[in-house]
Amino acid sequence: MKIIVYTPESRVEREIELIAGMLSAGADYLYLRRQGEDDAYWMAYAEQLPFADQGKIFTSSFRVLHEMGLGGFHFTGKAIAGLDKQDLVENLKMLEQSGKKSSATVRSLEELQQLDGHLDILLFSPVFESISKPGYRQDRNLEALKDYLQKRTSKTAVFAQGGINFDRIEEVKSLGFDGITLLGALWVRSGQVMSDFEKIVAKCR
């Protein structure tokens, strides 16, 4: 399974060093996200990471995407809601023509079915109760989700998000996801980020 790493929700000591280490040690993608930070912050942030890893980085800012030559654009829920079907198609075509990947978050099986096959990556959230947002969960019919994931033929990669930690990886695999996203489980113990990440990588491969 592939792995998406999120930047921590608040600044962490040695953050850039840790992020660079995870990109080197097996993270397939890095998602830049933190409330309150502007484009200038994220451009300076990305500039500190190895040039070879720029293609692994996703942002929700077209400016940051193109000025920094990053690899992917993540459509926020607000961005998706603000686009009609034709506008979304045109945006996706533009990204594809410029060699950029596309992603979005879906929160139900119905949303997954609607967008499956149109974007490169879909994040299904939350699968389990969120670690970074305790109490945030939705009742899931995991059997219906499993049935859909195992029968689909789309090239879109579907990642499990929400409540993903070391102990959940085997269950996520059995459901048929293509990968996982890491936020709460990764940054909850800031002094053990790399060792925790390496254990997760070993179990995903």
How far is Cα 43 from Cα 59, in angstroms, rounded to an integer? 10
Q: Decide if domain 2-204 falls under CATH 3.20.20.70.
A: yes
pTM of the model: 0.95
Degrees to nearest 5, angle at CA 32 with 68 and 128: 150
What are the residue boundaries of the structural domains of the chain, listed by start? 2-204
- Give the residue from 103, 92, 124 showing the smallest Cα distance to 29: 103
Q: Compute the average pLDDT of residues 137-152.
A: 87
Do 179 and 26 contact (CB within 8 A), yes or no? no
pLDDT of res. 115? 96
Share of the chain above pLDDT 70, in %: 96
Q: Would you place residue 35 in the very low, low, confident or very high pLDDT band (cuts 50, 70, 90)?
A: very high
Higher pLDDT pick, 7 / 184:
7
Q: Would you place residue 135 in the very low, low, confident or very high pLDDT band (cuts 50, 70, 90)?
A: low
Higher pLDDT pick, 184 / 135:
184
Q: Would you place residue 159 in the very low, low, confident or very high pLDDT band (cuts 50, 70, 90)?
A: very high
Number of neighbouring beta carbons within 10 Å of residue 98? 10
Do 29 and 57 contact (CB within 8 A), yes or no? yes
Condensed to tens digits (0 to 9), the pLDDT of residues 167-191 reads 999 999 999 999 999 999 899 887 8
Coil, strand or helix at 61: coil
How far is Cα 138 from Cα 6, in angstroms, rounded to an integer? 21
pLDDT of res. 138? 62
To the nearest 10°, report the CA torsion of 107, 112, 115, 117.
Answer: 140
Q: Would you place residue 12 in the very low, low, confident or very high pLDDT band (cuts 50, 70, 90)?
A: very high
Q: Compute the average pLDDT of residues 115-135.
A: 86
pLDDT of res. 137? 58
Work out the mean pLDDT of the chain and round it to a whole number: 94
Share of the chain above pLDDT 90, in %: 87
How far is Cα 137 from Cα 134, in angstroms, rounded to an integer? 8
- Give the residue from 68, 141, 133 showing the smallest Cα distance to 108: 141
Q: Would you place residue 150 in the very low, low, confident or very high pLDDT band (cuts 50, 70, 90)?
A: very high
Single-letter amino acid, residue 16: I
